[in-house]
Structures are given as C-alpha cells and as structure tokens.
C-alpha cells in the first residue's frame, strides 16, 4: 500500500534560526516513534531556500526528509532569482514542490513551465510534488475537473512511466489555501479519484496505484483524520498548520485505516 506523505510547506516564513528551532521541537515530538511512524508514513519539510542549509543540519540523523518549494528547469545560466537542481541536491533535498498555486497565480508560472520543472526534478533523481487546483471562480463555475486535469496533463507531460512511480501529486483547491475553508473529504476524494483514473490511462495500473496524491488547503489537526480516511488521499501538503511543531506533529500522527 502507499505510505502516506505529510509535507510541510513553510512558504516565505521562518528564518534559518527559527526553522532550526521548529525542527528541534518537531523532532522532539516525532523521533521517539520514528520507527513506528515510518511503517506507514513519511514526513517532509520544505523551508524557504535560505533556510535549507540550517534545516539540513537540524535534520541530520532524522527520518524527516528535506524539500524545496520550487526549482528551475535549466541546470544553470542567466535566470535571476532562480535555483537549480544541483544547488538543492547539495544540501540533501529529496523532494521539490512545483506549480504551487501561489507560483502560478502570484508569479505567473505557466502549465508548460510547471511541466518542465517537474521533469527537471525527476531527471535530477528527486521527487517532484506537482500541485494542481482550481480557483474559487472555476470551482463555482463547475470547472474543477477540467482545470485540475489540464494542469495534471501538462505537469506530467515530460515525465516517463519509470519516473512516475515516485512522483507525487498535490490537489490544492485555491479557495481552500490559507482560508480555513477545507474541501470536504468527499469533495477531495472525488477529485483525487479522477486524478487517479487519468494517471491510470497515462501510466497503467501498477504505476498509477503507486503515485501518492496529497490533499492541501487548510489541513489542520481537526480535519486530517477524516481526509486521510478516503481511499485516494495519500497524505497532506500543509501550510499554516506546519508552522507550529505540535500542530504539524499531530497531523503527522493522523489516524490511518490501514498500515
């Protein structure tokens, strides 16, 4: 079965020293049970770029993986403000979020750019976490699946089946991000199920069944258990609630139906 993945997206929060303190507190919560938790779940934190070196040190010897919030698709060159795969790998980054809705909507990243970023992450042998999700207006107009599945096709366009097994998708309805308004477990499951069936068409069954599909958007310690009870919800991408060690630790300890 798929191990659940609980990923913290710190966004533009926490300096290196604040990040170090948060990780020390998180480890105090999780390290004692690391072996038990590792049976059916993985934990990941994605700090801002400048906090990654301090986070790498703070995570030494822990089971918590290190992620980044974005990455450019070119190996190097004149791309002011961007960061490459080699720079992230240097610090032991294993997962990279691409196509987060804030990148798409605030910074103009296109479907095509997200697809190139995802492919570059996979080519560098890291795990891309490809984010998809509709805006409130698209949701209200009944265009959720059309938008999400289009973003999914572009996001995975350059990913080969042998790379896809380890890829991660994150469904994050834009109207649920940072708003306190979560999709219901039923709403999320219906989108996750549609994503799974597109993955099945594209990559075939064993691969599609291995791909984790995370839910993101106002995940909290209160709602995580009911979300994780759904068959195609394989973890969570957590923003606000990941900035407090006890909240995120509780989310990581979500009740799971199966091991």
**Least Cβ distance, residue 64 to ligand PGA (angstroms):** 17
Under the binding rule (CB under 6 A), the answer on residue 233 touching ligand PGA is no
* The one segment of 34-42, 136-144, 201-209, 211-219 that binds ligand PGA by CB under 6 A: 211-219
Window 132-161: contact mask with ligand PGA (x via CB under 6 A) = ------------------------------
Q: Where are the alpha helices (DSSP H) in 13-97?
A: 16-30, 34-37, 52-58, 85-90
Looking at residues 185 to 204 of the shown chain, list those that interact with ligand PGA (rule: CB under 6 A). Answer: none
Closest CA to 161 of 113, 209, 194: 209
> Number of residues in contact with ligand PGA, rule: CB under 6 A?
13
CA distance 117 to 83: 11
Catalytic residue among 100, 139, 154, 192: 100
Question: What six digits make up the tokens of 68?
Answer: 């980044």
Under the binding rule (CB under 6 A), the answer on residue 239 touching ligand PGA is yes
* The one segment of 58-66, 113-121, 195-203, 213-221 that binds ligand PGA by CB under 6 A: 213-221
**Least Cβ distance, residue 21 to ligand PGA (angstroms):** 20
Task: Examine the residue annotation and report whether 172 is marked as an active-site residue of this protein.
Answer: yes
Task: Examine the residue annotation and report whether 100 is marked as an active-site residue of this protein.
Answer: yes
Write the burial class of residue 151 (CB in 10 Å: 0-12 exposed, 13-18 middle, 19+ buried). Answer: buried
Strand partners, 9: 46
Closest CA to 47 of 17, 73, 81, 3: 17
**Tally of CB atoms within 10 A around 250:** 17
Would you tell me which residues interact with ligand PGA (CB under 6 A)?
9, 172, 177-178, 216-219, 237-241
């Amino acid at each position: 079965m798929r191990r659940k993945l609980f990923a913290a997206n710190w966004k533009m929060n926490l300096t290196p020293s604040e990040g170090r303190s948060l990780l020390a507190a998180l480890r105090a919560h999780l390290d004692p049970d690391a072996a038990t938790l590792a049976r059916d779940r993985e934990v990941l934190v994605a700090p801002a770029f400048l906090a990654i070196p301090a986070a790498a040190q703070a995570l030494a010897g822990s089971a918590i993986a290190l992620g980044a919030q974005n990455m450019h698709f070119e190996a190097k060159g004149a791309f002011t403000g961007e960061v490459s795969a080699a720079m992230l790998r240097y610090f032991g980054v294993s997962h990279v979020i691409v196509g987060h809705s804030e990148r798409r909507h605030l910074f103009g990243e296109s479907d095509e750019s997200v697809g190139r970023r995802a492919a570059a992450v996979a080519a560098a042998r890291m795990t891309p976490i490809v984010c998809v999700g509709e805006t409130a207006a698209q949701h209200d107009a009944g265009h959720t699946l059309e938008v999400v599945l289009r973003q999914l096709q572009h996001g995975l366009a350059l990913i080969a089946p042998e790379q896809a097994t380890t890829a991660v998708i994150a469904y994050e309805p834009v109207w649920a991000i940072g708003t306190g308004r979560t999709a219901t477990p039923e709403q999320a499951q219906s989108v996750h199920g549609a994503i799974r069936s597109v993955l099945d068409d594209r990559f075939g069954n064993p691969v599609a069944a291995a791909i984790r599909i995370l839910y993101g958007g106002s995940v909290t310690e209160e709602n995580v258990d009911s979300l994780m009870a759904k068959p195609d919800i394989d973890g969570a991408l957590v923003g606000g609630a990941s900035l407090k060690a006890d909240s995120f630790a509780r989310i990581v300890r979500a009740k799971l139906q199966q091991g």
